Structure 1
Amino acid sequence: MNRLGFMSYIYMGWTVEQMAADARSHGMSLVQLDPKQKLQLMDDQPFSQARAEAVRESFEKQGISIVGLSGYTNLMNPNLQKREDKLVQLEKMIDLCPVYGTRYIATETGSLHPTNAWRDYEGNRTPEAWDELLRIVDRLRSRAVKNDAVLLLEGFALNILATVEQAVSLVEQLGSEGLGIIMDPFNYLTQEDLKQQDAAMTNIFNRIEAYAPIAHAKDTLYSEEGFTTPRVGAGYADWNVYAKLISSRMPEVPLILEHAKPEEVAECLKLVHQAFANAAAEKADEANGR
Protein backbone atom coordinates (compact mmCIF):
# COMPACT_ATOMS: atom_id res chain seq x y z
CA MET A 1 0.00 0.00 0.00
CA ASN A 2 1.12 3.59 -0.57
CA ARG A 3 3.01 5.27 2.25
CA LEU A 4 0.68 7.27 4.47
CA GLY A 5 1.02 10.79 5.80
CA PHE A 6 -1.05 13.65 7.14
CA MET A 7 -1.70 17.34 6.65
CA SER A 8 -0.26 19.16 9.65
CA TYR A 9 -3.45 21.19 10.18
CA ILE A 10 -5.19 18.00 11.33
CA TYR A 11 -3.28 18.54 14.56
CA MET A 12 -3.79 22.27 14.91
CA GLY A 13 -2.39 23.53 18.22
CA TRP A 14 -0.29 20.39 18.81
CA THR A 15 3.50 20.35 19.16
CA VAL A 16 5.71 18.47 16.73
CA GLU A 17 6.24 15.75 19.33
CA GLN A 18 2.52 15.36 20.01
CA MET A 19 1.44 15.16 16.38
CA ALA A 20 4.32 12.86 15.46
CA ALA A 21 3.48 10.45 18.27
CA ASP A 22 -0.20 10.28 17.29
CA ALA A 23 0.60 9.94 13.59
CA ARG A 24 3.07 7.10 14.22
CA SER A 25 0.50 5.29 16.34
CA HIS A 26 -1.70 5.18 13.22
CA GLY A 27 1.10 3.99 10.95
CA MET A 28 1.81 7.35 9.28
CA SER A 29 5.37 8.47 8.61
CA LEU A 30 5.00 11.57 6.41
CA VAL A 31 3.68 15.09 6.89
CA GLN A 32 2.64 17.83 4.48
CA LEU A 33 3.55 20.77 6.66
CA ASP A 34 2.19 24.30 6.78
CA PRO A 35 5.23 26.48 7.67
CA LYS A 36 2.89 29.13 9.12
CA GLN A 37 1.36 26.70 11.64
CA LYS A 38 2.22 27.32 15.29
CA LEU A 39 4.23 24.41 16.69
CA GLN A 40 5.60 25.98 19.89
CA LEU A 41 8.96 26.04 18.12
CA MET A 42 10.31 29.48 17.16
CA ASP A 43 6.80 30.51 16.14
CA ASP A 44 7.84 34.16 16.14
CA GLN A 45 10.11 33.44 13.14
CA PRO A 46 7.79 31.54 10.77
CA PHE A 47 9.90 32.03 7.63
CA SER A 48 13.39 31.86 9.08
CA GLN A 49 15.90 29.26 7.97
CA ALA A 50 16.70 28.50 11.60
CA ARG A 51 13.09 27.59 12.37
CA ALA A 52 12.81 25.46 9.23
CA GLU A 53 15.92 23.52 10.26
CA ALA A 54 14.64 23.10 13.82
CA VAL A 55 11.20 21.89 12.69
CA ARG A 56 12.68 19.45 10.19
CA GLU A 57 15.11 18.01 12.74
CA SER A 58 12.38 17.71 15.34
CA PHE A 59 10.09 15.78 12.99
CA GLU A 60 12.93 13.54 11.83
CA LYS A 61 13.84 12.67 15.41
CA GLN A 62 10.22 11.53 15.85
CA GLY A 63 10.34 9.36 12.73
CA ILE A 64 8.34 11.69 10.48
CA SER A 65 9.61 13.00 7.12
CA ILE A 66 8.36 16.23 5.56
CA VAL A 67 7.03 15.18 2.14
CA GLY A 68 5.90 18.66 1.12
CA LEU A 69 4.91 22.12 2.30
CA SER A 70 1.41 23.59 2.35
CA GLY A 71 1.57 27.05 0.85
CA TYR A 72 -2.16 27.28 0.22
CA THR A 73 -3.42 30.72 -0.68
CA ASN A 74 -5.73 32.38 -3.18
CA LEU A 75 -3.35 33.09 -6.05
CA MET A 76 -6.07 35.18 -7.69
CA ASN A 77 -7.25 37.20 -4.70
CA PRO A 78 -9.31 40.07 -6.18
CA ASN A 79 -7.70 42.45 -3.69
CA LEU A 80 -4.48 43.11 -5.57
CA GLN A 81 -2.48 44.24 -2.54
CA LYS A 82 -3.49 41.18 -0.53
CA ARG A 83 -2.72 39.03 -3.55
CA GLU A 84 0.78 40.41 -3.85
CA ASP A 85 1.41 40.10 -0.11
CA LYS A 86 0.43 36.42 -0.21
CA LEU A 87 2.50 35.76 -3.32
CA VAL A 88 5.57 37.24 -1.65
CA GLN A 89 4.86 35.08 1.41
CA LEU A 90 4.54 32.00 -0.80
CA GLU A 91 7.85 32.83 -2.46
CA LYS A 92 9.49 32.89 0.97
CA MET A 93 8.12 29.40 1.62
CA ILE A 94 9.38 28.19 -1.77
CA ASP A 95 12.85 29.40 -0.79
CA LEU A 96 12.64 27.26 2.37
CA CYS A 97 11.81 23.98 0.60
CA PRO A 98 15.45 22.77 0.59
CA VAL A 99 15.82 23.61 4.29
CA TYR A 100 12.70 21.61 5.14
CA GLY A 101 14.12 18.70 3.15
CA THR A 102 11.46 18.60 0.44
CA ARG A 103 11.17 19.63 -3.19
CA TYR A 104 7.43 20.14 -3.07
CA ILE A 105 5.13 22.99 -2.08
CA ALA A 106 1.41 22.97 -2.81
CA THR A 107 -1.24 25.64 -3.33
CA GLU A 108 -4.70 25.95 -4.81
CA THR A 109 -5.27 28.53 -7.54
CA GLY A 110 -8.21 30.27 -5.88
CA SER A 111 -11.15 32.30 -7.14
CA LEU A 112 -11.94 35.86 -8.09
CA HIS A 113 -15.03 35.71 -5.88
CA PRO A 114 -15.00 38.94 -3.82
CA THR A 115 -15.38 37.27 -0.41
CA ASN A 116 -14.73 33.51 -0.63
CA ALA A 117 -11.84 31.75 -2.39
CA TRP A 118 -13.84 28.48 -2.41
CA ARG A 119 -16.89 29.80 -4.25
CA ASP A 120 -17.41 29.88 -7.98
CA TYR A 121 -17.54 33.21 -9.76
CA GLU A 122 -18.35 34.05 -13.35
CA GLY A 123 -15.06 35.91 -13.70
CA ASN A 124 -13.19 32.66 -13.08
CA ARG A 125 -14.12 31.39 -16.53
CA THR A 126 -12.78 34.30 -18.61
CA PRO A 127 -9.70 34.18 -20.85
CA GLU A 128 -8.34 37.14 -18.90
CA ALA A 129 -8.49 35.21 -15.62
CA TRP A 130 -6.71 32.24 -17.21
CA ASP A 131 -3.97 34.43 -18.65
CA GLU A 132 -3.43 36.10 -15.28
CA LEU A 133 -3.26 32.70 -13.58
CA LEU A 134 -0.64 31.58 -16.08
CA ARG A 135 1.43 34.68 -15.37
CA ILE A 136 1.29 34.14 -11.60
CA VAL A 137 2.00 30.42 -11.77
CA ASP A 138 4.95 31.02 -14.08
CA ARG A 139 6.36 33.55 -11.61
CA LEU A 140 6.11 30.99 -8.79
CA ARG A 141 7.33 28.14 -10.97
CA SER A 142 10.42 30.14 -11.86
CA ARG A 143 11.09 30.76 -8.16
CA ALA A 144 10.72 27.03 -7.53
CA VAL A 145 13.22 26.15 -10.27
CA LYS A 146 15.83 28.41 -8.64
CA ASN A 147 15.44 26.38 -5.45
CA ASP A 148 15.34 22.96 -7.15
CA ALA A 149 11.74 22.81 -5.95
CA VAL A 150 8.41 21.99 -7.56
CA LEU A 151 5.20 24.02 -7.23
CA LEU A 152 2.24 21.63 -7.01
CA LEU A 153 -1.17 22.99 -7.98
CA GLU A 154 -4.34 21.59 -6.46
CA GLY A 155 -7.33 22.14 -8.71
CA PHE A 156 -10.86 22.56 -7.34
CA ALA A 157 -14.12 22.46 -9.28
CA LEU A 158 -15.12 25.98 -8.18
CA ASN A 159 -11.70 27.60 -8.65
CA ILE A 160 -10.07 29.04 -11.76
CA LEU A 161 -8.20 25.76 -12.22
CA ALA A 162 -11.38 23.68 -12.14
CA THR A 163 -10.80 20.62 -14.35
CA VAL A 164 -8.06 18.12 -15.09
CA GLU A 165 -8.16 19.26 -18.71
CA GLN A 166 -7.20 22.75 -17.53
CA ALA A 167 -4.48 21.28 -15.31
CA VAL A 168 -2.90 19.50 -18.26
CA SER A 169 -3.23 22.61 -20.42
CA LEU A 170 -1.50 24.73 -17.79
CA VAL A 171 1.46 22.35 -17.50
CA GLU A 172 1.72 22.05 -21.27
CA GLN A 173 1.73 25.83 -21.68
CA LEU A 174 4.31 26.52 -18.96
CA GLY A 175 6.32 23.30 -18.97
CA SER A 176 6.78 20.73 -16.23
CA GLU A 177 10.09 22.09 -14.90
CA GLY A 178 9.33 23.24 -11.38
CA LEU A 179 5.61 22.57 -11.85
CA GLY A 180 3.30 19.66 -11.03
CA ILE A 181 -0.22 18.71 -9.97
CA ILE A 182 -1.57 17.13 -6.79
CA MET A 183 -3.39 13.86 -7.43
CA ASP A 184 -6.71 14.75 -5.81
CA PRO A 185 -9.67 13.45 -7.83
CA PHE A 186 -12.05 14.42 -5.02
CA ASN A 187 -11.61 18.08 -5.95
CA TYR A 188 -12.59 17.51 -9.57
CA LEU A 189 -15.54 15.10 -9.36
CA THR A 190 -18.84 16.57 -10.54
CA GLN A 191 -22.26 15.30 -9.53
CA GLU A 192 -22.44 13.48 -12.87
CA ASP A 193 -19.00 11.97 -12.23
CA LEU A 194 -20.28 10.45 -8.98
CA LYS A 195 -22.67 8.31 -11.07
CA GLN A 196 -19.76 6.88 -13.10
CA GLN A 197 -16.80 7.02 -10.79
CA ASP A 198 -14.70 4.31 -12.39
CA ALA A 199 -14.66 6.16 -15.71
CA ALA A 200 -14.33 9.59 -14.10
CA MET A 201 -11.40 8.70 -11.84
CA THR A 202 -9.68 6.75 -14.60
CA ASN A 203 -9.86 9.84 -16.78
CA ILE A 204 -8.36 11.96 -13.99
CA PHE A 205 -5.48 9.50 -13.58
CA ASN A 206 -4.95 9.32 -17.33
CA ARG A 207 -4.67 13.08 -17.49
CA ILE A 208 -2.50 14.04 -14.53
CA GLU A 209 -0.77 11.03 -12.97
CA ALA A 210 2.45 11.81 -14.87
CA TYR A 211 2.62 15.20 -13.15
CA ALA A 212 1.58 14.13 -9.63
CA PRO A 213 4.24 13.23 -7.01
CA ILE A 214 1.82 13.51 -4.06
CA ALA A 215 -1.77 12.24 -3.64
CA HIS A 216 -4.46 13.28 -1.17
CA ALA A 217 -6.96 11.25 0.82
CA LYS A 218 -10.38 12.74 1.48
CA ASP A 219 -13.91 12.59 -0.05
CA THR A 220 -16.42 14.37 -2.28
CA LEU A 221 -19.78 15.72 -1.13
CA TYR A 222 -22.57 17.65 -2.82
CA SER A 223 -25.23 18.85 -0.38
CA GLU A 224 -27.55 21.79 0.27
CA GLU A 225 -24.44 23.72 1.33
CA GLY A 226 -22.89 23.12 -2.09
CA PHE A 227 -19.70 21.30 -3.05
CA THR A 228 -17.23 20.29 -0.32
CA THR A 229 -14.42 17.77 0.12
CA PRO A 230 -14.75 16.37 3.68
CA ARG A 231 -12.72 13.65 5.41
CA VAL A 232 -12.57 10.10 4.10
CA GLY A 233 -15.96 8.41 4.51
CA ALA A 234 -17.97 11.61 4.86
CA GLY A 235 -18.92 11.88 1.19
CA TYR A 236 -19.84 9.80 -1.84
CA ALA A 237 -16.50 9.08 -3.52
CA ASP A 238 -15.89 5.39 -4.20
CA TRP A 239 -12.68 4.67 -2.34
CA ASN A 240 -12.48 1.17 -3.81
CA VAL A 241 -12.02 2.77 -7.23
CA TYR A 242 -9.43 5.25 -5.97
CA ALA A 243 -7.45 2.62 -4.06
CA LYS A 244 -7.39 0.32 -7.09
CA LEU A 245 -6.10 3.08 -9.36
CA ILE A 246 -3.50 4.54 -7.05
CA SER A 247 -2.14 1.19 -5.85
CA SER A 248 -1.76 -0.15 -9.39
CA ARG A 249 -0.65 3.01 -11.21
CA MET A 250 1.06 5.17 -8.58
CA PRO A 251 2.27 2.78 -5.83
CA GLU A 252 5.31 4.91 -4.92
CA VAL A 253 3.34 8.14 -4.47
CA PRO A 254 2.66 9.13 -0.83
CA LEU A 255 -0.97 9.40 0.23
CA ILE A 256 -1.70 12.33 2.56
CA LEU A 257 -4.76 12.40 4.82
CA GLU A 258 -6.82 15.59 4.80
CA HIS A 259 -9.78 17.24 6.53
CA ALA A 260 -9.97 14.95 9.55
CA LYS A 261 -9.91 15.81 13.23
CA PRO A 262 -7.43 13.92 15.43
CA GLU A 263 -10.22 11.76 16.85
CA GLU A 264 -11.35 10.87 13.30
CA VAL A 265 -7.97 9.74 11.99
CA ALA A 266 -8.34 6.10 13.06
CA GLU A 267 -11.72 5.70 11.37
CA CYS A 268 -10.50 7.40 8.18
CA LEU A 269 -7.45 5.18 7.95
CA LYS A 270 -9.55 2.08 8.65
CA LEU A 271 -11.62 2.93 5.56
CA VAL A 272 -8.46 3.59 3.53
CA HIS A 273 -6.89 0.28 4.56
CA GLN A 274 -10.09 -1.59 3.75
CA ALA A 275 -10.24 -0.01 0.29
CA PHE A 276 -6.66 -1.07 -0.42
CA ALA A 277 -7.41 -4.58 0.87
CA ASN A 278 -10.41 -4.74 -1.48
CA ALA A 279 -8.20 -3.62 -4.36
CA ALA A 280 -5.63 -6.31 -3.55
CA ALA A 281 -8.33 -8.98 -3.33
CA GLU A 282 -9.77 -7.92 -6.68
CA LYS A 283 -6.32 -8.05 -8.26
CA ALA A 284 -5.76 -11.53 -6.84
CA ASP A 285 -9.10 -12.72 -8.16
CA GLU A 286 -8.26 -11.39 -11.62
CA ALA A 287 -4.86 -13.12 -11.52
CA ASN A 288 -6.56 -16.39 -10.62
CA GLY A 289 -9.13 -15.99 -13.36
CA ARG A 290 -12.09 -15.68 -11.02
Structure 2
Amino acid sequence: MMQAGIFTGYFPYGLEETAKKIRGHGFNTVQLDLHFKDIDLSAGQITKDKAKKVRDTFRAHDLPICCISGYTNVIHPDLAHRKANVDRLKEIIRNARQLGSPYVISETGTYNTESEWMSDPKNKSEEGFEMCRKVISELAQEAYDHGSMFLLETYVNNVVGSVEETVRMFAQVDHPGLGLLMDPTNYFESHNIDQMDKVLNQVFDTLADKVKIAHAKDVARAGDDKSEKHADIGDDDALASHTFRGVGEMVLNAPGTGSLNYDLYLQRLSQKNPNIPVIIEHLSEDDVPRAKKFLDDKFRANGL
Protein backbone atom coordinates (compact mmCIF):
# COMPACT_ATOMS: atom_id res chain seq x y z
CA MET A 1 0.00 0.00 0.00
CA MET A 2 1.08 3.57 -0.68
CA GLN A 3 2.28 5.75 2.21
CA ALA A 4 1.24 9.35 2.88
CA GLY A 5 4.13 11.57 3.93
CA ILE A 6 4.92 15.27 4.24
CA PHE A 7 7.87 17.66 4.11
CA THR A 8 9.22 18.45 7.57
CA GLY A 9 9.71 22.08 6.53
CA TYR A 10 6.03 22.90 6.83
CA PHE A 11 6.40 22.63 10.60
CA PRO A 12 8.41 25.62 11.91
CA TYR A 13 9.64 24.10 15.17
CA GLY A 14 12.57 22.36 16.77
CA LEU A 15 13.50 18.82 15.77
CA GLU A 16 11.60 16.90 18.47
CA GLU A 17 8.46 19.02 18.26
CA THR A 18 8.39 18.77 14.46
CA ALA A 19 8.53 14.97 14.59
CA LYS A 20 5.87 14.85 17.31
CA LYS A 21 3.46 17.10 15.39
CA ILE A 22 3.88 15.22 12.12
CA ARG A 23 3.28 11.88 13.79
CA GLY A 24 0.26 13.39 15.51
CA HIS A 25 -1.29 13.91 12.08
CA GLY A 26 -0.95 10.19 11.37
CA PHE A 27 1.86 10.30 8.82
CA ASN A 28 4.30 7.42 8.67
CA THR A 29 7.12 8.90 6.58
CA VAL A 30 8.69 12.30 5.85
CA GLN A 31 10.77 14.16 3.31
CA LEU A 32 13.51 15.72 5.39
CA ASP A 33 14.21 19.45 5.11
CA LEU A 34 17.46 20.46 6.79
CA HIS A 35 15.67 23.30 8.58
CA PHE A 36 14.87 23.18 12.29
CA LYS A 37 14.80 25.92 14.93
CA ASP A 38 17.20 24.16 17.30
CA ILE A 39 19.82 22.41 15.16
CA ASP A 40 22.10 23.98 12.55
CA LEU A 41 22.29 21.88 9.40
CA SER A 42 23.33 24.69 7.07
CA ALA A 43 26.28 24.55 4.67
CA GLY A 44 29.33 23.05 6.34
CA GLN A 45 27.45 22.25 9.55
CA ILE A 46 26.27 18.65 8.99
CA THR A 47 28.12 16.23 11.28
CA LYS A 48 27.72 12.53 11.98
CA ASP A 49 26.39 13.27 15.46
CA LYS A 50 23.81 15.74 14.17
CA ALA A 51 22.77 13.35 11.40
CA LYS A 52 22.32 10.55 13.92
CA LYS A 53 20.24 12.80 16.16
CA VAL A 54 17.95 13.71 13.24
CA ARG A 55 17.40 10.15 12.00
CA ASP A 56 17.01 8.75 15.52
CA THR A 57 14.43 11.41 16.42
CA PHE A 58 12.22 10.60 13.44
CA ARG A 59 12.67 6.86 13.95
CA ALA A 60 11.62 7.26 17.59
CA HIS A 61 8.36 8.77 16.34
CA ASP A 62 7.80 5.98 13.77
CA LEU A 63 8.55 8.41 10.93
CA PRO A 64 11.25 6.93 8.71
CA ILE A 65 12.89 9.51 6.45
CA CYS A 66 12.20 8.46 2.85
CA CYS A 67 14.12 11.25 1.10
CA ILE A 68 15.98 14.52 1.67
CA SER A 69 15.47 17.98 0.18
CA GLY A 70 18.48 19.44 -1.60
CA TYR A 71 16.67 22.07 -3.68
CA THR A 72 18.97 24.63 -5.26
CA ASN A 73 19.74 26.20 -8.62
CA VAL A 74 22.47 23.89 -9.90
CA ILE A 75 23.07 26.01 -13.04
CA HIS A 76 22.94 29.49 -11.51
CA PRO A 77 24.36 31.94 -14.08
CA ASP A 78 26.80 33.40 -11.53
CA LEU A 79 29.60 30.83 -11.46
CA ALA A 80 30.59 31.44 -7.84
CA HIS A 81 26.96 31.15 -6.76
CA ARG A 82 26.56 28.00 -8.85
CA LYS A 83 29.62 26.41 -7.26
CA ALA A 84 28.32 27.17 -3.77
CA ASN A 85 24.92 25.68 -4.65
CA VAL A 86 26.41 22.51 -6.14
CA ASP A 87 28.90 22.12 -3.29
CA ARG A 88 26.07 22.35 -0.76
CA LEU A 89 24.03 19.78 -2.66
CA LYS A 90 27.03 17.43 -2.77
CA GLU A 91 27.46 17.88 0.99
CA ILE A 92 23.88 16.72 1.51
CA ILE A 93 24.42 13.80 -0.88
CA ARG A 94 27.56 12.70 0.98
CA ASN A 95 25.66 12.75 4.29
CA ALA A 96 22.38 11.32 3.00
CA ARG A 97 22.81 7.79 4.36
CA GLN A 98 23.78 9.17 7.76
CA LEU A 99 20.63 11.33 7.74
CA GLY A 100 18.43 8.33 7.04
CA SER A 101 17.79 8.00 3.29
CA PRO A 102 19.86 7.56 0.12
CA TYR A 103 17.56 9.81 -1.92
CA VAL A 104 18.41 13.54 -2.32
CA ILE A 105 16.16 15.72 -4.49
CA SER A 106 16.61 18.91 -6.51
CA GLU A 107 15.21 20.44 -9.66
CA THR A 108 17.51 21.21 -12.60
CA GLY A 109 17.52 24.98 -12.27
CA THR A 110 17.32 27.99 -14.53
CA TYR A 111 19.69 30.52 -16.04
CA ASN A 112 17.30 33.29 -14.98
CA THR A 113 19.04 35.72 -12.61
CA GLU A 114 15.85 36.92 -10.91
CA SER A 115 14.23 33.70 -9.71
CA GLU A 116 14.83 29.96 -9.39
CA TRP A 117 11.43 29.30 -10.97
CA MET A 118 11.28 31.72 -13.89
CA SER A 119 12.24 30.63 -17.38
CA ASP A 120 15.14 31.90 -19.46
CA PRO A 121 15.82 31.47 -23.19
CA LYS A 122 19.06 29.66 -22.39
CA ASN A 123 17.11 26.97 -20.50
CA LYS A 124 15.86 25.56 -23.80
CA SER A 125 19.11 25.94 -25.74
CA GLU A 126 21.57 23.17 -26.57
CA GLU A 127 24.28 25.01 -24.63
CA GLY A 128 22.04 25.28 -21.60
CA PHE A 129 21.06 21.62 -21.71
CA GLU A 130 24.66 20.46 -22.09
CA MET A 131 25.83 22.52 -19.13
CA CYS A 132 23.01 21.13 -17.03
CA ARG A 133 23.80 17.59 -18.18
CA LYS A 134 27.37 17.94 -16.94
CA VAL A 135 26.19 19.02 -13.50
CA ILE A 136 23.57 16.23 -13.28
CA SER A 137 26.24 13.71 -14.27
CA GLU A 138 28.52 15.02 -11.50
CA LEU A 139 25.73 14.76 -8.95
CA ALA A 140 24.84 11.23 -10.03
CA GLN A 141 28.47 10.14 -9.65
CA GLU A 142 28.79 11.86 -6.26
CA ALA A 143 25.68 10.04 -5.11
CA TYR A 144 26.87 6.68 -6.42
CA ASP A 145 30.25 7.12 -4.74
CA HIS A 146 28.51 7.59 -1.38
CA GLY A 147 25.80 4.93 -1.63
CA SER A 148 23.13 7.51 -2.42
CA MET A 149 20.99 8.50 -5.40
CA PHE A 150 20.28 11.95 -6.79
CA LEU A 151 16.61 12.33 -7.73
CA LEU A 152 15.91 14.82 -10.48
CA GLU A 153 12.63 16.74 -10.13
CA THR A 154 11.29 18.37 -13.28
CA TYR A 155 9.68 21.81 -13.52
CA VAL A 156 8.34 23.40 -16.71
CA ASN A 157 10.39 26.60 -16.43
CA ASN A 158 13.68 24.82 -15.68
CA VAL A 159 16.11 23.19 -18.11
CA VAL A 160 14.38 19.83 -17.67
CA GLY A 161 10.67 20.55 -17.72
CA SER A 162 8.93 18.44 -20.36
CA VAL A 163 8.55 14.69 -20.67
CA GLU A 164 10.81 14.77 -23.73
CA GLU A 165 13.53 16.70 -21.88
CA THR A 166 13.34 14.28 -18.96
CA VAL A 167 13.71 11.27 -21.26
CA ARG A 168 16.65 12.95 -22.98
CA MET A 169 18.44 13.68 -19.71
CA PHE A 170 18.10 10.10 -18.51
CA ALA A 171 19.31 8.83 -21.89
CA GLN A 172 22.40 11.03 -21.72
CA VAL A 173 23.05 10.44 -18.02
CA ASP A 174 22.41 6.71 -17.88
CA HIS A 175 23.78 6.24 -14.39
CA PRO A 176 22.87 4.14 -11.32
CA GLY A 177 23.25 7.28 -9.19
CA LEU A 178 20.35 9.06 -10.91
CA GLY A 179 16.62 8.59 -10.34
CA LEU A 180 13.38 10.55 -10.76
CA LEU A 181 11.14 12.33 -8.28
CA MET A 182 7.62 12.05 -9.70
CA ASP A 183 5.55 15.23 -9.56
CA PRO A 184 3.18 15.31 -12.52
CA THR A 185 1.95 18.84 -11.77
CA ASN A 186 5.35 20.16 -12.82
CA TYR A 187 4.84 19.04 -16.44
CA PHE A 188 1.76 21.19 -17.06
CA GLU A 189 1.57 24.49 -18.92
CA SER A 190 -1.24 26.37 -20.60
CA HIS A 191 -0.79 24.39 -23.84
CA ASN A 192 -1.27 20.94 -22.26
CA ILE A 193 -3.28 21.26 -19.04
CA ASP A 194 -6.50 20.59 -20.97
CA GLN A 195 -4.96 17.27 -22.05
CA MET A 196 -4.52 16.13 -18.45
CA ASP A 197 -5.00 12.39 -18.92
CA LYS A 198 -2.93 12.23 -22.10
CA VAL A 199 0.02 13.94 -20.40
CA LEU A 200 -0.25 11.78 -17.27
CA ASN A 201 -0.25 8.60 -19.34
CA GLN A 202 2.71 9.85 -21.40
CA VAL A 203 4.64 10.60 -18.21
CA PHE A 204 4.17 7.10 -16.84
CA ASP A 205 4.47 5.30 -20.17
CA THR A 206 7.95 6.74 -20.61
CA LEU A 207 9.32 7.37 -17.10
CA ALA A 208 7.73 4.97 -14.60
CA ASP A 209 10.83 2.80 -14.25
CA LYS A 210 12.91 5.80 -13.07
CA VAL A 211 10.58 6.84 -10.21
CA LYS A 212 11.68 6.44 -6.57
CA ILE A 213 9.56 8.95 -4.61
CA ALA A 214 6.37 10.90 -5.48
CA HIS A 215 4.89 14.26 -4.51
CA ALA A 216 1.31 15.35 -3.94
CA LYS A 217 0.27 18.89 -4.79
CA ASP A 218 -2.11 20.34 -7.38
CA VAL A 219 -2.12 22.46 -10.52
CA ALA A 220 -4.58 24.93 -12.03
CA ARG A 221 -4.65 27.90 -14.36
CA ALA A 222 -3.42 31.07 -12.70
CA GLY A 223 -6.00 33.41 -14.22
CA ASP A 224 -5.00 37.06 -14.58
CA ASP A 225 -2.22 36.96 -11.98
CA LYS A 226 0.92 35.79 -13.78
CA SER A 227 3.35 36.99 -11.09
CA GLU A 228 5.56 34.69 -9.01
CA LYS A 229 3.46 33.60 -6.07
CA HIS A 230 4.58 32.82 -2.52
CA ALA A 231 2.45 31.90 0.49
CA ASP A 232 2.83 32.81 4.14
CA ILE A 233 3.26 29.47 5.93
CA GLY A 234 3.86 30.92 9.38
CA ASP A 235 7.65 30.79 9.30
CA ASP A 236 9.68 33.93 8.61
CA ASP A 237 12.69 31.70 7.85
CA ALA A 238 10.81 29.30 5.57
CA LEU A 239 12.63 27.91 2.56
CA ALA A 240 11.53 29.62 -0.66
CA SER A 241 10.80 26.18 -2.13
CA HIS A 242 8.08 25.78 0.51
CA THR A 243 6.44 29.17 0.04
CA PHE A 244 6.50 29.04 -3.79
CA ARG A 245 3.07 28.61 -5.39
CA GLY A 246 3.73 29.08 -9.09
CA VAL A 247 4.62 31.68 -11.69
CA GLY A 248 3.19 32.50 -15.10
CA GLU A 249 0.21 30.53 -16.40
CA MET A 250 0.08 27.87 -13.66
CA VAL A 251 -0.62 28.00 -9.93
CA LEU A 252 0.64 25.14 -7.75
CA ASN A 253 -1.27 24.69 -4.51
CA ALA A 254 -2.13 21.92 -2.04
CA PRO A 255 -3.50 18.53 -3.17
CA GLY A 256 -7.22 18.52 -3.79
CA THR A 257 -7.45 22.21 -4.71
CA GLY A 258 -6.79 22.10 -8.45
CA SER A 259 -7.20 20.15 -11.68
CA LEU A 260 -4.88 17.15 -11.31
CA ASN A 261 -6.63 13.84 -12.01
CA TYR A 262 -5.54 12.18 -8.78
CA ASP A 263 -7.31 8.90 -9.52
CA LEU A 264 -5.37 8.39 -12.75
CA TYR A 265 -2.14 9.72 -11.22
CA LEU A 266 -2.19 7.30 -8.30
CA GLN A 267 -3.38 4.36 -10.39
CA ARG A 268 -0.51 4.78 -12.84
CA LEU A 269 1.99 5.46 -10.07
CA SER A 270 1.00 2.28 -8.25
CA GLN A 271 1.57 -0.01 -11.25
CA LYS A 272 5.35 -0.06 -10.79
CA ASN A 273 5.54 1.55 -7.35
CA PRO A 274 2.78 0.00 -5.21
CA ASN A 275 4.39 0.92 -1.86
CA ILE A 276 5.86 4.31 -2.78
CA PRO A 277 5.88 7.26 -0.34
CA VAL A 278 3.67 10.10 -1.63
CA ILE A 279 4.79 13.36 -0.04
CA ILE A 280 2.27 16.19 0.48
CA GLU A 281 3.47 19.74 -0.24
CA HIS A 282 2.50 23.34 -1.09
CA LEU A 283 0.34 23.98 1.95
CA SER A 284 0.40 25.62 5.38
CA GLU A 285 0.28 23.73 8.66
CA ASP A 286 -3.40 24.47 9.25
CA ASP A 287 -4.32 22.77 5.95
CA VAL A 288 -2.47 19.54 6.75
CA PRO A 289 -5.51 17.58 8.12
CA ARG A 290 -7.62 18.37 5.02
CA ALA A 291 -4.81 17.53 2.59
CA LYS A 292 -3.98 14.27 4.32
CA LYS A 293 -7.64 13.22 4.36
CA PHE A 294 -7.88 14.03 0.66
CA LEU A 295 -4.88 11.83 -0.16
CA ASP A 296 -5.95 9.02 2.18
CA ASP A 297 -9.42 9.04 0.65
CA LYS A 298 -7.89 8.74 -2.83
CA PHE A 299 -5.74 5.82 -1.69
CA ARG A 300 -8.80 4.11 -0.23
CA ALA A 301 -11.06 4.77 -3.23
CA ASN A 302 -8.47 3.31 -5.59
CA GLY A 303 -7.55 0.34 -3.40
CA LEU A 304 -4.01 1.58 -2.92
1:265 CA drift (Å): 0.8
Segment drifting more, 222-231 vs 262-271: 222-231
Query: Does the 8 Å contact 1:41/1:55 carry over to 2?
Result: no
Tell me what 1:75 maps to.
74
Q: Normalising by structure 2, report the TM-score.
A: 0.87
1:57 CA drift (Å): 1.0
Q: Normalising by structure 1, report the TM-score.
A: 0.91
* Structure 1 portions without partners, runs of 5+: 284-290
Aligned match for 2:262, one of 236, 239, 247? 239
Tell me what 2:28 maps to.
29
1:20 CA drift (Å): 2.0
Tell me what 2:283 maps to.
260
Query: Does the 8 Å contact 1:176/1:211 carry over to 2?
Result: no
Distance of 1:178 and 1:191 partners within structure 2: 33
Question: Where does 1:212-231 land on structure 2 (aligned, <5 Å)?
Answer: 212-223=211-222, 224-225=225-226, 226=248, 227-231=250-254
Query: Does the 8 Å contact 1:167/1:181 carry over to 2?
Result: no
Tell me what 1:287 maps to.
none
Is residue 52 of structure 1 aligned with residue 51 of structure 2? Answer: yes
1:42 CA drift (Å): 4.9
Divergent runs of 4+, >6 A: none
Query: Does the 8 Å contact 1:7/1:258 carry over to 2?
Result: yes
Distance of 1:275 and 1:63 partners within structure 2: 23
Query: Does the 8 Å contact 1:183/1:216 carry over to 2?
Result: yes
* Structure 2 portions without partners, runs of 5+: 227-247
Amino acid at match of 2:289: A
Percent of aligned positions that are identical: 27
1:14 CA drift (Å): 1.2
Give the number of aligned pairs.
279
Distance of 2:4 and 2:301 partners within structure 1: 17
1:43 CA drift (Å): 5.2
1:80 CA drift (Å): 1.0
Query: Does the 8 Å contact 1:244/1:276 carry over to 2?
Result: no
Tell me what 2:93 maps to.
94
Question: Where does 1:1-290 land on structure 2 (aligned, <5 Å)?
Answer: 1-11=1-11, 13-35=12-34, 37-42=35-40, 46-223=45-222, 224-225=225-226, 226=248, 227-280=250-303
Distance of 1:39 and 1:186 partners within structure 2: 30
Distance of 1:135 and 1:42 partners within structure 2: 31
C-alpha change, 1:126 and 1:56, in structure 2 (3 Å) is same
